[in-house]
Structure 1
């Protein structure tokens, strides 16, 4: 399993940004093998982490036509700065038990 970590300093995110982000998230999950996507923004800092079964899916997603348009919009205004890291997950575990009150 792989994760793509996207960190950015937010720039001018116009009305197209939210619609495109939602559309692309759904597309990545429905057609490109993305298994989960989590994002958060605090002030002008944004982080998004997506999870993928293999690197081939990530490469295919990077070349998807609408995603390429979004990448260009990100470079020309939506983000002042961004960084993308692709990492291989060597180990993952979670506490899947129910929370209990003390």
Structure 2
């Protein structure tokens, strides 16, 4: 992922998956990852999911307008509705502005 700058917008999505339709979810998630990467202002994504179905996904955007455009994208909105109906027991979403960012790699 590209280095994050001061002012980068982080969209933090914390979700508890249901047991319904894991294959459909995997396909939808891959499609949304590809679609997000094509959007103006997209920087990257980090995502993890535990065996209990709890997941955290953080997407990074150059600015608030880019993050809002992704939120409002028609295909993303349709997939969000599908997630509410089928794949998620509950979720929370948090939007934050990055003020500092550090990277470290084992030599």
Specify the TM-score bucket, using the shorter chain as the normaliser. 0.7 to 0.9
Q: Provide the aligned C-alpha RMSD in A.
A: 1.4
Bigger-Rg structure (1/2)? 1
Where structure 1 has 5 or more consecutive residues not aligned to the other structure, the ranges are none
How many angstroms apart in 2 are the aligned matches of 1:30 and 1:40?
A: 21
How many angstroms apart in 1 are the aligned matches of 2:47 and 2:102?
A: 20
Instruction: Count the aligned residue pairs.
Output: 98
Give TM-score scaled by structure 2 length. Answer: 0.83
Where structure 2 has 5 or more consecutive residues not aligned to the other structure, the ranges are 1-7
Give TM-score scaled by structure 1 length. Answer: 0.87
Runs (4+) of structure 1 moved beyond 4 Å?
none
Partner residue in 2 for 1:93: 102
How many angstroms apart in 1 are the aligned matches of 2:87 and 2:56?
A: 14
1:41 to 25, 42, 49: 49
